[in-house]
């Protein structure tokens, strides 16, 4: 009966070296799996001794390197494997092999290998606490600085405070001296230049924080005056992120509908054109019903007759996209290739989807609908199955979110309460002034981050990139072109992000809050997430586990830059308008 024997990835290198009969790789940390060797006990024992000596040499080199770059009074050696312990184990192992006690020698070799690997890990992570503390101080300092900026510029807590009584020169000289001492400490030890970045970056950050001493004093005084039970409850609720905006049936149903998609299997190579067709027909029916209803209720107040031509063109693009997906799929199945007319229309649809929304009215509902219709035309062409329904479900939840925020803003007692349809993305002189920050804005920023993450993982897009299924771009090209295919696939992944970002722009208009102020809150949330994933980075386990932990950290670190780009795209799509007809009267608030 065959028995399964698992092996670590690192153990393959010494196994192959032993089978081929070549020296073990110099930097290999694998342990020879004896169960795969069909040889004499003496060969196994001598091979294990060679393996142990090879790993032990790595341990010695790493210890010497770390000892050289560390001040003598600060160096702490790995006590479990002293030089005398190394000599003793090697001596006993060779004696055992000489007396043909192979099992005993193998056991001693395993002990030496385990100790050497522990020592390697010890010296590899020797500076982990020091560097981790520096990085944590940088994250925490930056987060505190953003919070202080929010409190200073967007709340009434700091009104009437006097200028910082602590001289600025005291902070300047003090932090300059700290920076010099840290740099000198690193220079003496001949540490890599990256250490200077990690260790010196928190210095100017905390200098900027402590310069705001009056604001910190006001914040501490405010926290001391707040009821502790109330503050603790507030902190727990917003940390976990479970505050519910309102118990509304449409909100619950749309959330449940969207929650289905992350549970679906990753998009595979099996196409299901029926679902893509269903998504196209569904968005067409919904858009038609909303446009007809809106046009009747508004009585031409917000939607001009000529503007209807834009929406008619977008609806026709959706019909064309739905037809092209089916036509291309049938043509490829019958081995006839991609029809040239389908390819031309697909590229025209992609280009027009970026321009046509800029021709639509800038009123909130109308512009968002135009953006959705244009992006869905492209998304259908890039879909192969159930993922075609994802932007529709996401957009439905976004519209419900905007509508609910419109109702929530009334609790602040703001006199300006227009209907949702009357709000415009284009700011005019009649647009009311931005209001100060409120506690509920933390929830709005949290929802935005949550929806961005949902858009990222909603249809298993990460796996789609790794597997790179080419069938999703067959409406555009069938000849292998990695850059074009990769660009199209990245745009497909970005479309749900753009929808969420445009909805967030609408939230800012609806709640009369500056995008800069809300973005600062989003920045704080993303920094906390980055710090959390920093502590989850692994340097052990399979390459998949290590790579995944690093990828998550890098993704969250890039989150802020990514959100800034998305914000720019969303502002362009929502606020700008190209005049198609000269003399067309523009409606505004």
Give the ranges where 264-383 is alpha helix by DSSP (H). 273-298, 307-333, 340-355, 364-381
Q: With CA atoms as reference, report the closest residue to 358 among 574, 79, 73, 571.
A: 574
583 Rama class: left (phi>0) / alpha (psi -120 to 50) / beta:
left
> What pLDDT does residue 418 have?
56
Q: With CA atoms as reference, report the closest residue to 574 among 424, 402, 399.
A: 424
> What pLDDT does residue 468 have?
53
Mean pLDDT, consecutive 10-residue stretches, the chain (589 aa), reads: 72 85 83 83 88 90 86 83 88 89 90 90 83 85 83 65 61 85 85 84 87 77 65 56 52 82 67 88 89 70 74 92 92 87 92 90 87 93 88 91 78 54 59 66 84 77 50 84 85 90 87 75 79 75 70 74 82 81 42
Residue 100 sits at φ, ψ, to 5 deg, of: 60, 30
Provide the greatest CA pair distance for the chain.
103
> What pLDDT does residue 245 have?
41
CA Rg value for the chain: 31
Q: With CA atoms as reference, report the closest residue to 508 among 498, 497, 495, 517.
A: 517
> What pLDDT does residue 348 have?
93
435 neighbors 513 (Cβ within 8 angstroms)? yes
> What pLDDT does residue 583 have?
47
Residue 424 sits at φ, ψ, to 5 deg, of: -125, 145
Q: Which two tokens stand for residue 544?
A: 């998949």
Q: CA-CA distance, 495 to 452, in Å (whole number)?
A: 11
Q: CA-CA distance, 571 to 425, in Å (whole number)?
A: 9
Q: With CA atoms as reference, report the closest residue to 495 among 356, 372, 385, 313.
A: 372
> What pLDDT does residue 428 have?
44
Q: With CA atoms as reference, report the closest residue to 347 among 486, 479, 484, 464.
A: 484
Q: Which residues of 20-50 are buried (b: 16+ CB within 10 A; e: fewer)?
A: eeeebeeebbbbbbbeeeeeeeeebbbbbbb
Residue 419 sits at φ, ψ, to 5 deg, of: -70, 160
């Amino acid at each position: 009966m065959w028995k399964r024997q698992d092996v670590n990835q690192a153990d393959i290198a010494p196994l192959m070296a032993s089978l081929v009969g070549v020296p073990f790789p110099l930097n290999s940390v694998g342990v020879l799996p004896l169960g795969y060797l069909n040889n004499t006990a003496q060969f196994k024992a001598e091979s294990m001794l060679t393996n142990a000596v090879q790993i032990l040499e790595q341990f010695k080199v790493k210890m010497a390197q770390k000892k050289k770059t560390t001040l003598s009074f600060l160096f702490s050696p790995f006590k479990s494997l002293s030089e005398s312990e190394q000599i003793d184990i090697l001596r006993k192992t060779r004696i055992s092999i000489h007396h043909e006690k192979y099992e005993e020698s193998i056991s001693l070799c395993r002990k030496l290998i385990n100790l050497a690997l522990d020592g390697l890990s010890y010296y590899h992570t020797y500076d982990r606490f020091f560097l981790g503390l520096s990085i944590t101080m940088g994250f925490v300092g930056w987060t505190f600085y953003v919070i202080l900026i929010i409190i200073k510029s967007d709340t009434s807590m700091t009104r009437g405070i006097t200028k910082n009584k602590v001289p600025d020169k005291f902070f300047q000289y003090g932090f300059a001296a700290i920076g010099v001492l840290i740099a000198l400490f690193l220079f003496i030890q001949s540490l890599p230049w990256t250490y200077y970045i990690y260790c010196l970056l928190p210095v100017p950050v905390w200098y900027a924080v402590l310069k705001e001493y009056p604001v910190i004093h006001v914040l501490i005084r405010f926290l001391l005056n707040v009821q502790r039970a109330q503050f603790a409850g507030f902190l727990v609720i917003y940390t976990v992120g479970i505050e519910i905006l309102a118990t509304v049936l449409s909100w619950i149903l749309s959330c449940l509908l969207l929650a289905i998609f992350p549970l679906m299997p990753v998009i595979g190579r099996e196409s299901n054109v029926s679902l893509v067709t269903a998504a196209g027909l569904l968005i067409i029916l919904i858009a038609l019903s909303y446009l007809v209803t809106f046009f009747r209720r508004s009585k031409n107040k917000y939607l001009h007759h000529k503007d209807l031509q834009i929406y008619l063109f977008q609806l026709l693009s959706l019909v064309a996209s739905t037809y092209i997906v089916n036509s291309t799929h049938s043509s490829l199945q019958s081995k006839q290739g991609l029809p040239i007319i389908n390819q031309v229309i697909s590229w025209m649809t992609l280009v027009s989807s970026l321009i046509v929304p800029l021709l639509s009215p800038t009123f909130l509902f109308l512009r968002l609908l135009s953006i959705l219709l244009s992006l869905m035309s492209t998304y259908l062409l890039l879909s192969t199955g159930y993922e075609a329904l994802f932007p529709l479900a996401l957009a439905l939840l976004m519209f419900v979110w905007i509508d609910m925020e419109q109702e929530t803003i009334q609790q602040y007692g703001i006199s300006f309460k227009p209907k949702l349809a009357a709000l415009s993305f284009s700011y005019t002189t009649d647009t009311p002034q931005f209001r100060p920050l409120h506690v509920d804005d933390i929830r709005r920023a949290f929802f935005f981050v949550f929806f961005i993450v949902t858009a990222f993982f909603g249809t298993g897009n990460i796996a789609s990139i790794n597997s790179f299924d080419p069938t999703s771009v067959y409406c555009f090209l069938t000849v292998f072109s990695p850059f074009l295919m990769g660009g199209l696939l990245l745009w497909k992944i970005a479309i749900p992000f753009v929808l969420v970002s445009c909805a967030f722009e609408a939230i800012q208009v609806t709640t009369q809050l500056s995008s800069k102020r809300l973005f600062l809150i989003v920045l704080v949330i993303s920094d906390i997430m980055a710090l959390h994933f920093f502590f989850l980075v692994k340097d052990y386990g399979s390459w998949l586990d290590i790579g995944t932990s690093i990828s998550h950290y890098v993704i969250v670190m890039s989150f802020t830059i990514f959100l800034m780009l998305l914000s720019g795209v969303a502002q362009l799509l929502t606020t700008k308008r190209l005049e198609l007809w000269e003399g067309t009267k523009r409606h505004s608030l």
